[in-house]
Amino acid sequence: MKMSLVVDGLRSDVTAVAELGDDTVAEVAERIAAVLGRSAPARILEVLSDAATELSAELPEGRVQVQLAGDDVHLAYVEDARVPAAEGEGGDLSARITLRLTESLKTRVDEGAAAEGISVNTFIIRALDRGTAAPRAGRSGRGGHRLRGYGTT
């Protein structure tokens, strides 16, 4: 969808109303059309984002994303990336734990999950999977980036 076409249509509608009145009505309509031209794109994106959020909540997997490229706006379906199962596991997500967090950490987790458009559970599983993955080759353990020796000043 070209956003400029929608905005131009709104301006045209306001201009048509201006033709019904005198010069004062025409001047007011021009001002209204100018404000619509500036605010309508943001309002359109808000409506599309809300629609994408509501649709995503109904999907068992994946989410709907609003994609903006210049003047073009698209709604796109994006599949959630599967969290790889740990070695030796069948990938059955039946184990449960109770996790106690500070309010500030929980807020950051909630915000991170929302930013990625995934559930908090999926967000935490991904973070744990990354954090417990085997160390990369060539990377030393503790103190690998420590400077040693004496310097002179």
Give dist(CA 14, CA 34) in Å, integer.
Answer: 10
Say if residue 93 is in the same domain as residue 74: no
Say if residue 7 is in the same domain as residue 75: yes
Question: How sure is the predictor about 20, in pLDDT bands with cuts at 50, 70 and 90?
Answer: confident
Per-residue pLDDT averaged across 128-147, rounded? 59
- Neighbouring C-alpha atoms within 13 Å toward the C-beta of 51: 12
Taken in order 102, 108, 109, 114, the sign of the CA dihedral is: positive
pLDDT in the model for residue 147: 47
Our separate counts of H helices and E strands in the chain read 4, 2
Give dist(CA 55, CA 51) in Å, integer.
Answer: 6
Domain that holds residue 114: 81-135
pLDDT in the model for residue 140: 47
Count CB atoms within 10 A of the CB of residue 35.
Answer: 11
Chain centroid, CA 61 distance in Å: 16
**pLDDT tens-place string over residues 71-86:** 888 888 888 765 555 4
Amino acid identity, position 151: G
C-beta of residue 83 within 8 angstroms of C-beta of residue 129: yes
Say if residue 14 is in the same domain as residue 73: yes
C-beta of residue 31 within 8 angstroms of C-beta of residue 46: no
Q: Which of the listed residues 58, 79, 100 is the one where a domain comes to its end?
A: 79
151 in a structural domain: no
